[in-house]
Amino acid sequence: MKPDARHVCRHAHLVTWVDEIARLCRPAAVHWCDGSDDEYQRLCAQLVAAGTFTALDPQRHPGGFLARSHPADVARVEDRTFICSPDPADAGPTNHWRDPAETKATLTRLFTGAMSGRTLYVVPFSMGPIGSPYARIGVQLTDSAYAVVNLRIMTRIGSPVLDRLASDGAYVPCLHSVGAPLAPGQADVPWPCNPEKWICHFPAERAIWSFGSGYGGNALLGKKCFALRIASVIARDEGWLAEHMLILGLTAPNGRKRYLAAAFPSACGKTNLAMLQSALPGWSVTCVGDDIAWLHVAEDGRLRAINPEAGFFGVAPGTSATSNPHALAAIQANTIFTNVALTPDGDVWWEGKTPTPPPRLIDWTGQDWTPGCGRPAAQPNSRYTAPARQCPVIDPAWEDPDGVPIDAIIFGGRRLGTVPLVNEARSWAHGVFLGSTCASETTAAAGGAQGVLRRDPFAMLPFCGYHMGDYFAHWLAMGRRLDPAKRPRLFYVNWFRKGADGRFLWPGFGDNVRVLKWILEQLDGHDHIRTTPIGLMPTADGIDVQGLTLARGAMDELLAVDAAGWRRELESIATYYGTFGERLPAELGDELAALRSRLGE
């Protein structure tokens, strides 16, 4: 791969770092990525030749590829993700802490010669539109061509970023190796990786070292490692927020448009909400981002958000023409599918794509698959990587360097019981209380057991780079910095409530616009509202159900305040809050006490 973009790099510090890492990792070659289409095509062709990629049928998916990962490298590894702050107390009780010096020593040993026989790619990338005052630059050094082509979709990479960096710009060094050196003459495998994985963050020096995995958030270091874990630390220090949130525009029939952000845990509905096809006539949603939001206080005291990413790394299973037609359109061309199933005619398939599966497939492990064989055809955390600009409802302002103004923030998660369909916080502090107490059932997005209910405050449990108690305090402080008249209002939703028969009570997806409508009406002032002990909720007729048939009694159950459930919840929150010790802001203890007394406890 020659020539490369090294010649346009005027940044002596970066050149020195790359040289140093090349000496450590001993790659066979070093390639500076320019980010061009030509380079992308060559890398994809190389991945096809290596057996990592299978080209899809160009009629069905022009520029489409399927990648199958190693069966043990399919999701983020939270138990191997470390925050290496100098003081263990700064990582807090929700993170895995390791000593920075010791961890560097271990990693240096692991990285020694780790890239033998491979190419070291230098990938300068911008999180956020290049030139936006809110954008930040990272440089990923990686021996994974798969990571490079994914980064090219998910971020803005190459020469324009080097130009922006000039001779002395700041960047976050992101070192990545799949940890599979090749001896001379040794044949490669389609998905190199290492059974030993280390996803390490050094918040004090703002650096990332990732070893052993080629998958998703473990390997695309701009995403969770930089844009959330390291960025959350930068944001704390600089007075902004780095959040696991979608950003959407909601237009009412009168033409008025507002922007909302929503934090749901991994695989809990951000992508689907961000580009929903409205079930209500006259209402429409446009997508600014589906996974990460960087939020700043603008000069006028308003909260504004940018999407630091440029693509979607979305959950494939469940994506269908009925659940999310806009995502299906976005992934028609130029998309990398990872761990989905392949049809005999070069198309892709996953559970839920069509009501009935095709009669024959090659499953995500490369084996023949027939319906009823007892194995899933697609890995439950199979994903697509697609350029955001291909989304048919991408918002016209999605790359606005100043971001979009946020009028409401929604928290949520998968809760089978207790938590109602929608609820508004009584105040900013109450909203921070709601965000801090979010809980959700675990999903396939991370290794470990699934369907286990755990606290996932602000959907940031796996992504906050510092002490969660300090993070709550930072949210409270941000509220004080916003103009009270322009401050976003805070809501809590739950699409995942189940009835006695074990089925979802709420249809979800495009029907979620009905709840967004109530939220917008709340902002504008209306009377479909009742005050309850847990917050402000819709009246029985508050949610617009035109054209919708719900099971009998479903709406009552969705909008009920389950007193017994909330009493259990109080105890569980008290125990949870206890884990933060004196770093739990006093206001949150007060909110818990106030809820207790409103519930008559």
Among the listed residues 268, 287, 391, 464, the single catalytic one is 268
**309 binding Mn ion? (CB under 5 A):** no
Q: Which is nearer to ligand GTP, 144 or 271 (CB)?
A: 271
Q: Which is nearer to ligand SPV, 316 or 434 (CB)?
A: 316
Of the CA atoms within 13 Å of residue 467, those in its CB half-sphere come to 18
Binds ligand GTP (CB under 6 A): choice among 61, 223, 270, 426: 270
| Bridge partners for 120 per DSSP | 30
**76 binding ligand SPV? (CB under 6 A):** yes
**78 binding Mn ion? (CB under 5 A):** no
User: Which of ligand GTP, ligand SPV, Mn ion, none is residue 395 near (CB under 5 to 8 Å by kind)?
Assistant: none
Using the contact rule CB under 6 A, the part of the chain among 171-179, 316-324, 425-433, 546-554 near ligand GTP is 316-324
Which SS3 state, helix, strand or coil, does residue 18 take?
Answer: helix
User: Which of ligand SPV, ligand GTP, Mn ion, none is residue 217 near (CB under 5 to 8 Å by kind)?
Assistant: ligand SPV
Q: Which is nearer to ligand GTP, 482 or 550 (CB)?
A: 550
Asked whether 337 and 350 are in contact (CB, 8 A), the reply is no
Binds ligand SPV (CB under 6 A): choice among 11, 152, 224, 415: 224
User: Which of Mn ion, ligand GTP, ligand SPV, none is residue 223 near (CB under 5 to 8 Å by kind)?
Assistant: ligand SPV
Phi-psi label, residue 421: left if phi above 0, alpha if psi -120 to 50, beta otherwise: alpha
- Mark whether 464 is an active-site residue: no
Residues 510-529 that bind ligand GTP (CB under 6 A): 512
Q: Which is nearer to ligand SPV, 203 or 216 (CB)?
A: 216
Helix (H) or strand (E) holding 481: helix 468-481
**201 binding ligand SPV? (CB under 6 A):** no
Residue 14 CB neighbour total at 10 angstroms: 22
Kindly state the tokens that stand for 159.
């020469």
Alpha helices in 268-351 (DSSP H): 270-274, 325-330
Residues contacting residue 488 through CB under 8 Å, at least 6 positions apart: 261, 303, 406, 407, 408, 409, 482
Using the contact rule CB under 5 A, the part of the chain among 17-25, 169-177, 287-295, 362-370 near Mn ion is 287-295
Q: Exposed, middle or buried: residue 23 (CB in 10 Å: 0-12, 13-18, 19+)?
A: exposed
Q: Which is nearer to ligand GTP, 175 or 293 (CB)?
A: 293
> What is the nearest approach in angstroms of ligand GTP to the Cβ of residue 444?
9
**291 binding Mn ion? (CB under 5 A):** yes
Closest CA to 467 of 221, 238, 233, 228: 233
Contacts of range 34-43, beta carbons closer than 8 Å, 24 or more positions apart: 34/4, 34/5, 34/8, 34/158, 34/159, 35/5, 35/152, 35/156, 35/157, 35/158, 35/159, 35/160, 35/161, 36/158, 36/159, 39/1, 39/158, 40/149, 40/152, 42/1, 43/1, 43/145, 43/148, 43/149
Which SS3 state, helix, strand or coil, does residue 413 take?
Answer: coil
Q: Which is nearer to ligand SPV, 30 or 230 (CB)?
A: 230
Helix (H) or strand (E) holding 312: strand 311-315
Residues 406-445 that bind ligand SPV (CB under 6 A): 445
Using the contact rule CB under 6 A, the part of the chain among 136-144, 310-318, 334-342, 543-551 near ligand GTP is 310-318
Query: Applying CB under 5 A, which residues contact Mn ion?
Result: 266, 291
- Chain residues that interact with ligand GTP, rule: CB under 6 A: 264, 266-272, 290-291, 314-315, 317-318, 323, 445, 495-496, 504, 508-509, 512
Residue ranges that bind ligand SPV, judged by CB under 6 A: 76, 216-217, 223-224, 266, 291, 313, 445
- Catalytic residue IDs: 268
